[in-house]
Amino acid sequence: MHLDDLLRELVDRHGSDLHLRVGEPPIMRIHGHLTRTEHEVLTHDSVDELVGGLMNEVQLQRFEADWELDLAYALEGVARYRVNLFRQQGHASGVFRAIPSKVRTVDELNLPTVLKKISMLPRGLALVTGPTGTGKSTSLAAMMDYVNTYKPGHIITIEEPIEFWHDEKLSTVTQREVPHDTPNFASALKHAMRQNPDVILVGEMRDLETISLAISAAEMGSMVFSTLHTIDAPQTIDRIVDAFDPERQAQVRLQLSSSLQAVVSQTLLPLKDKSGRIAAFEIMVCTPAIRSLIRNGRTDQIYSSIQAGSEIGSQTLDGDLLRLVKEDKVELEEAVLKCSNPNEFRLRAEMMMRDQPEPPKAQKKDIDWYG
């Protein structure tokens, strides 16, 4: 058993993750479901042999000291992999997330076209949110590719590790990796404003300092993109505000009301024909009404403004889920599991289907690379 062979098999089977742990055969997540392979059960020595060759001497020392390590691995002509190595029950273990070698475009991924407009905004803060494994990095990479293709500017990415490599097109792209090129996200952000950026991508706003610096960078004239593990726009705003001490929260709301441009929240559902997964989106494009709600701490009223903003590209998650059901791309029960109000959603879906003629069949182009 060789690691490269397992990683090739993962991509061949359209899987997203490979799990290696002692006492189990290699496990792959395929179309969102964990599947045990038919390979031999892994032993302490076999896992050490599989993951040991990934680390250089410095990384090995860090892993032995911290028992945790994030790194990237590339298999030429196949894919890149985001790797997390860790220990469990005294044994080395690892999870490998497959990342396509080629950055897919907004159109290839069938993403909402408003993401192109958000990508090209001159300044502010745009966030892509959702649970782990819902394709946030894939969507952000497509947006950065759009900027790279159509905007002559300087893009700085700060990631841990670097997932998608961007070949320079119309833009100049600087990609910095934590901790190899910079100690942490906050340190890189502090210095980024002296590096003449037009666009800054922060892999994750994971602590108070990074959140504060990202907002400041947006206020200073850069377009900042980042991610949060939140499920919708109101929760995203509340999460950012709640990260600060109570005496600073009013000021943060004021800053967000002027700098936040959009929140894109996404989730993944299995396609009806079981051939892959497709993304559903909630999109909040900030309007004067939404900025006023943020400033006054009335995030519970944001949904009505999202519904009223369809002409500028805003949409609710439930509305997008209904579209997928109407187009016969996903099962109703799968959509119900992801919606915000199951009873109301089911009622709306049943009313919609009564008025709907024979649904169109899902087209091959609707299948994305999310695994």
Please report which confidence band the pLDDT of residue 368 belongs to, taking 50, 70 and 90 as the band edges. Answer: very low
Please report which confidence band the pLDDT of residue 356 belongs to, taking 50, 70 and 90 as the band edges. Answer: low
> Considering only 50-64, 255-269, 356-370, which range has the smallest mean pLDDT?
356-370
Average pLDDT, the chain: 91
Q: What is the pLDDT of residue 371?
A: 40
Question: 114-354 is classed in which CATH architecture?
Answer: 3-Layer(aba) Sandwich (3.40)
Among 1.10.3720.10, 3.20.20.70, 3.50.50.60, 3.30.450.90, name the CATH number for the domain at 3-100: 3.30.450.90
Mean pLDDT over 248-260 rounds to 97
Contacts of residue 75, Cβ cutoff 8 Å, sequence gap at least 6:
4, 7, 8, 81
* pLDDT surpassing 90 at residue 366: no
Can you give the residue ranges of every domain in the chain? 3-100, 114-354
> Considering only 147-156, 200-209, 337-346, 355-364, which range has the smallest mean pLDDT?
355-364
Q: What is the pLDDT of residue 367?
A: 42
* pLDDT surpassing 60 at residue 113: yes
Tally of CB atoms within 10 A around 65: 9
CB-CB contact of 137 with 160 (8 Å): no
CB-CB contact of 196 with 188 (8 Å): no
Six-digit token pair at 280? Answer: 């559903």
Contacts of residue 80, Cβ cutoff 8 Å, sequence gap at least 6:
72, 73, 74, 98, 99, 100, 101, 163, 164, 165
Could you report the per-residue pLDDT of 168-178, keeping only the tens digit for each?
999 999 999 99
Mean pLDDT over 188-210 rounds to 93
Six-digit token pair at 326? Answer: 């109407």
* pLDDT surpassing 80 at residue 62: yes
* Strands of the 91-100 sheet, one edge to the other: 33-36, 27-30, 15-20, 91-100, 79-88, 68-75
* pLDDT surpassing 80 at residue 206: yes
Could you report the per-residue pLDDT of 277-334, keeping only the tens digit for each?
899 999 999 999 999 999 999 999 999 999 999 999 999 999 999 999 999 999 999 9
How distant, in Å, are the alpha carbons of 47, 162, 225, 244, 263 from that of 125? 42, 21, 6, 18, 9
* pLDDT surpassing 90 at residue 364: no
Q: What is the pLDDT of residue 357?
A: 57
CB-CB contact of 86 with 180 (8 Å): no
* pLDDT surpassing 60 at residue 360: no
Question: In degrees, to the nearest 5, what angle opens at C-alpha 235 toward C-alphas 134 and 105?
Answer: 35
Q: What is the pLDDT of residue 362?
A: 44
- β-pair type (223-228, 260-270): unpaired
* pLDDT surpassing 80 at residue 267: yes
Mean pLDDT over 154-165 rounds to 92
Mean pLDDT over 63-90 rounds to 91
